[in-house]
Amino acid sequence: MEEHKDTCEIKFVNKDKVSMARALMCSDDIIIRLAETFKVLGDPTRTKIIFALSVEELCVCDIANLLNMSDSAISHQLRILRNLRLVKYRRQGKMAFYSLDDRHINELFERGLEHVTEG
């Protein structure tokens, strides 16, 4: 049987490093919220919406046309993104325009895009 070289060959716990990591670890509530954010971004349609909104503020009709989907399907996806505070909207007359909730969302998206596109 082939040995795995990607694990330790001996059992040794560096208690100082573990203690430091434990002290800096976020609360379970924050970790769960972060995991939910990444889970929501794991959907290609929602990622496309985030991409589009990183370029320009758009209404539901614009996004539906861009992604060749129905307004109701896009509204459903936007509701999910809005519930996690990834996007926000503003009303202008009878129109609802969507944008990224804040600069952190754009930065998160840009870093992820760099990660997957750089060699």
Q: What is the pLDDT of residues 80-89, one digit of tens each?
A: 999 999 999 9
Nearest CA to 87 among 95, 34, 30, 77? 77
> CA 77, 61, 82, 51 torsion: positive or negative?
positive
CA atoms within 13 A on the CB side of 109: 22
Strand ranges inside 1-119, DSSP E = 58-59, 87-92, 95-100
Mean pLDDT of 55-62: 96
Q: Which tokens go with 82?
A: 């809005």
- Total domains in the chain come to 1
Q: Which of 3-12, 34-43, 107-116 has the lowest mean pLDDT?
A: 3-12
Domain residues for the domain of 53 are: 44-117
More confident residue, 92 or 2: 92
Local structure of residue 84 (DSSP, 8 states): T
Q: Would residue 23 count as lying in a domain?
A: no
What CATH number did the domain enclosing 89 receive?
1.10.10.10
| 67 inside domain | yes
Residues shown for the chain:
119
